[in-house]
Amino acid sequence: MSALTTGVADRIADLAALYQDLHEHPELSFQEKRTATIVAKRLTEAGFEVTTGVGGTGVVGVLRNGEGASVLLRADMDALPVREIEQVPYRSRATGVGPDGDVVPVMHACGHDTHVTALIGAAEQLAARRADWSGTVLAVFQPAEEIGAGARAMLDDGFLDRFPRYDVALGQHVISAPGGHLYVCPGVFMAAADSLRVTVFGRGGHGSAPQTTVDPIVIASAIVLRLQTIVSREIAATDVAVVTVGSLRAGSKENVIPAEAELKLNIRTFDPDVRLRVLAAVDRIVRAEAAAAGAPREPEITPLNEFPLLVNDEVAAERIIAAFTTAFGQDQVHRSGTKPASEDFGGFGSAAGVPSVFWNFGAFDGQLYADPAQPQLAVAAGAAPGNHSSQFVPNDVEPALRRAVEALLTAAGVWLNGRTRA
């Protein structure tokens, strides 16, 4: 492993400049054209066979280096509709057009800029040190992870037929945790997620005469409250589910009762049966509340996105934990628990029928975290920023990038060891 990572430190200043550029110029899901252009140029210069436009804006680089295993390394590229606060001189001032047609601020509030930078660094290092490994590397830069559509778009675009077969899929994600620390969870790691748009219909009218209307705001409010009983009264205490209403829009003036209201829901589960029960309960409650209010027509329930359950192959995860521990020390490597956040990375492994492993790395000042093994406690206490926050800007950038590059190389090196396929 030391041979693959030799010289990584010399790349960090260049990678930090690339990271700052990507951070300053974020792009929304399926709009990652500038990012994809930069990625394609760097991969081409490193000697990869490069294909652009995969699944929309995805980029795939292939580096063949003799006989051996084939390893897929993946980074996601998209940003979020979040307004960044003033913290760093390279903060984002970008805007974009969201899926609803609204102009929104854009920020890498989930750290995908660090993922892109780290994978470029690992790809360039692998190209420069071909004498130290054998096999094939697929560097996959995926669009639209934030909406759960990018991996599926790439697979639907013939990914498995267009690119070399791979033996393992590997990926990583930055989290609010001390820089240098790595977190791996064998088995079930991240939740399945379903997002829904619910439109309830009423009958609008003057605010002074509510008796002549069917108020969709009241219906929507009742739905919000009733949905909170699903987890507390319909899901067993031994099971896990989260139901969140993250958006409620209705009306435009205080004395006008509107004709409709829109809610956006997010559901997280770790068990397929629990997921089906929660979805059925949402459907039942939405329709029943509308009927109870005398709504003139049935509500519309539209899926927005869907993330599969992310399950790390246990044998492969244990191999990576062992490699990380040897390379970085036991105090830097932690066994993570399951997380209610979601990812579509697992689609690459399940579609190909091969093991996949996804891990987290930290990128923040270690003094923010009383217990590096449980960094989520500092986030919950407000001592450190969490993912999707306007404050989520790594403040330990260069060491974090170095560790992220080294982690990709170390994990890939478990398979890229010159032996024939496992």
Question: Could you tell me which residues are annotated as the binding site for Mn(2+)?
Answer: 110, 112, 146, 173, 388
Helix 112-128 and helix 397-413, axial crossing angle in degrees, nearest 10: 50
Handedness of CA 74, 336, 375, 81 (dihedral sign): positive
Output the known binding site: 110, 112, 146, 173, 388
Alpha helices for 236-369 (secondary structure H): 272-292, 314-328, 346-352
Six-digit token pair at 113?
Answer: 């800029």
Helix (H, G, I), strand (E, B) or coil at 111: coil
In order of 73, 112, 401, the CA distances from 48 in angstroms are: 13, 22, 22
CA distance 269 to 121: 35
What are the residues whose beta carbons fall under 8 Å from the beta carbon of 53, sequence distance 6 or more? none
> Taking a C-beta distance cutoff of 8 angstroms, is the pair 140, 43 a contact?
no
Residue with tokens 């804006």: 57
Task: Kindly provide the residue ranges of all beta strands, DSSP E only, lying in 336-417, ordered along the sequence.
Answer: 356-364
Q: How far is CA 305 from CA 74, 260, 267, in A?
A: 20, 22, 11
What are 103's strand-pairing partners? 97
Q: Which of 263, 253, 252, 256 is nearest to 225 (CA)?
A: 263
Helix H or strand E segment including 104: strand 103-105
First to last CA, the chain: 19
Q: Tell me the pairing of strands 182-184 and 333-335.
A: parallel
C-alpha 150/C-alpha 57 separation (Å) is 9
What residues contact residue 173 under an 8 Å CB cut-off, 6+ apart? Answer: 111, 115, 343, 358, 359, 360, 361
Helix (H) or strand (E) holding 173: strand 168-178
| Alpha-carbon span 371 to 379, nearest angstrom | 11
As given in the structure block, the two tokens for residue 134 are 């054998």
- Report whether 12 contacts 398 (CB < 8 A): yes
Written as six digits, the tokens of 418 are: 């010159």
